[in-house]
Amino acid sequence: MAKKAEATYVGLDIGTSKITCVVGLHQEDAAEPSIIGLGTAPTTGLRRGVVTDIEETVSSITAALEEAERMSGTAIERATISVDGAHVQSLNSRGVIAVSRADHEISREDLLRAEEAAAAIQIDNNRQILQIIPKNYIVDGQSNIADPVGMNGVRLEVDTHIITAATPALKNLDNAVFRAGVTINDQVIVPLAAAKAVLTKRQRELGVVLMDIGAETTGLVVFEEGNIAFTTIIPVGSNHITKDLVFGLQTTIDVAEKVKLKHATAGRATSKDATKVSLDELGGKGAIAKHEIDKIVQSRLGEIFTMAVAELRKAGKDSMLAAGVVLTGGGAKMIGIADFAKDAMKMPVAVGAPTGITGLTDKVSDPAYAAAVGLMLEDMEQPLDNLSGINNILGNAMGRVKAIFKSLMP
Ligand SMILES: Nc1ncnc2c1ncn2[C@@H]1O[C@H](COP(=O)(O)OP(=O)(O)OP(=O)(O)O)[C@@H](O)[C@H]1O
Ligand SMILES: [Mg+2]
């Protein structure tokens, strides 16, 4: 696809605890994009990944944008943004059509018609299609065809992964971004954005789960044989650990958060540690044994991984994933989490951070910035003549338009 010789791309991750804005620069001769700006701001206007207070969300977005603009020396007008929350649902759907041309040569129009056929699904009135991701084309029964255009056939089928979301949640999000002065280029769910930044092609081929543990949501995506097999977002996250500490330690949310960040570990070896942790130093009162903290933390963490495994099992995607689990999100920064998750999920586990970028890598090589970097990389794949700004008008059709563009990409 044609790209400007030098252009900037923006990822805007609107999380429950923070907004992150990543600006990337792509120079024509460079193999990898360079990160030239990062802005973050705490959020108060979201609950479980969904905007509940537009005003507060607008001011958080604005603060993150301003910082990213200052650092990068660019004015941010457009961005690819995240969609988060348990209202996001997904399904796999197959579309089947008869090839239209008399000589049976498959055209781009046939591809689009097949995708339209796959998208003809029953969805509730207050939901809409967010993305249609073509995975596999089948021509006259022969599968695994990457690009059937130009081939000959009578029957064309396409396997797609379709992501739907609640219309009111999307409207509030769009509204907040619009009021912060940003035009939306594309919208991508958090786990897919994080996967874009951290997973290698080989991991996707082997079979892998990406699990993004945020503040109040945990996103999952499974790749098999290079394709998306399953996505979901569950309404639990690392803030639940903090809340458990509030009750367990009889302290405030601020002290509990500090205890979690400074002292909590999920590692096996420390589970009997009787060292006392002073809460006075953290603004609280008294002291607590380290193993008491870890007990509370590990109990909730265990529950989060159990829920994740249950989701994978329900979808039949809890085995045969040779590349195991890759963790991202702020919640993945807890010390010892990889070993803990390995026991809980019975799969190899690693913590992932964005790769394949240059520039301010020391700043963004952080599991908590995986989604924002992935959104910036998605932004880079937008066609120059994209239809941004019309998604409010097009509503449902936008998903289709995006799928059409994606299908036209080489
Ligand atoms: N070093 C750390 N150890 C443990 N937890 C951490 C650490 N750093 C951040 N966290 C936790 O990670 C969570 C924030 O993660 P993240 O920034 O990915 O969330 P978010 O994107 O704002 O929220 P969400 O994705 O749920 O909408 C908070 O609960 C925070 O306490
Ligand atoms: Mg997040």
**Shortest-distance Cα residue to atom 21 of ligand 1:** 15
Q: Is the CB of 329 under 6 A from ligand 1?
A: yes
Which residues fall within 8 angstroms of residue 100, CB to CB, at 6 or more apart? 107, 109, 110, 113
Question: Does 3 have pLDDT greater than 70?
Answer: no
Task: Name the one residue in this structure whose structure tokens are 């449902």.
Answer: 396
pTM for the predicted model, two decimal places: 0.92
Asked, for residue 320, whether it belongs to a domain, the answer is: yes
Instruction: Specify the pLDDT at position 30.
Output: 87
Asked, for residue 161, whether it belongs to a domain, the answer is: yes
- Host domain of residue 106: 89-166+396-408
Going by C-alpha positions, the residue among 283, 83, 116, 120 that lies closest to residue 194 is 83
Whether residues 242 and 311 share a domain: the answer is: yes
Q: Terminus-to-terminus CA distance in the chain, angstroms?
A: 7
Q: Is the CB of 63 under 6 A from ligand 1?
A: no
Q: Is the CB of 240 under 6 A from ligand 1?
A: no
Instruction: Specify the pLDDT at position 4.
Output: 53
- Separation of CA 215 and ligand 2 centre (Å): 7
- As a whole number of angstroms, the distance between CA 369 and CA 371 comes to 6
Which residues fall within 8 angstroms of residue 244, CB to CB, at 6 or more apart? 296, 297, 299, 300
Q: What is the pLDDT of residues 286-332, one digit of tens each?
A: 999 999 999 999 999 999 999 999 999 999 999 889 999 999 999 99
Asked, for residue 96, whether it belongs to a domain, the answer is: yes
Whether residues 147 and 239 share a domain: the answer is: no
Q: What is the pLDDT of residues 168-205, one digit of tens each?
A: 999 999 999 999 999 999 999 999 999 999 999 999 99
- At what angle are helices 238-249 and 253-263 packed, to 10 degrees? 110
Instruction: Note the maximum CA span of the chain.
Output: 82
Whether residues 328 and 403 share a domain: the answer is: no
Pair of tokens at residue 331: 């919640």
Contact indicator for 230, 220 with CB cutoff of 8 Å: yes
Instruction: Specify the pLDDT at position 397.
Output: 41
Going by C-alpha positions, the residue among 214, 339, 326, 216 that lies closest to residue 266 is 339
Pair of tokens at residue 260: 């979690």
Asked, for residue 15, whether it belongs to a domain, the answer is: no
Asked, for residue 265, whether it belongs to a domain, the answer is: yes
Domain count, the chain: 2
Q: Is the CB of 368 under 6 A from ligand 1?
A: yes
Higher confidence at residue 393 or residue 147?
147
Q: Is the CB of 298 under 6 A from ligand 1?
A: no
Q: What is the pLDDT of residues 323-378, one digit of tens each?
A: 999 999 999 999 999 999 999 999 999 999 999 999 999 999 999 999 999 999 99
Whether residues 156 and 259 share a domain: the answer is: no
**Shortest-distance Cα residue to atom 5 of ligand 1:** 331
Whether residues 132 and 239 share a domain: the answer is: no
Asked, for residue 346, whether it belongs to a domain, the answer is: yes
- Separation of CA 192 and ligand 2 centre (Å): 11
Whether residues 339 and 404 share a domain: the answer is: no
Whether residues 330 and 401 share a domain: the answer is: no
Q: What is the CATH number of the domain that holds 143?
A: 3.30.1490.110
Q: Is the CB of 60 under 6 A from ligand 1?
A: no
C-alpha pair distances (Å), 303 with each of 174, 333, 383: 33, 17, 42
Mean pLDDT, the chain, integer = 91
Of 312, 327, 350, the domain-final residue:
350
Question: Does 102 have pLDDT greater than 60?
Answer: yes
Asked, for residue 105, whether it belongs to a domain, the answer is: yes
Asked, for residue 153, whether it belongs to a domain, the answer is: yes
Question: Does 404 have pLDDT greater than 70?
Answer: no
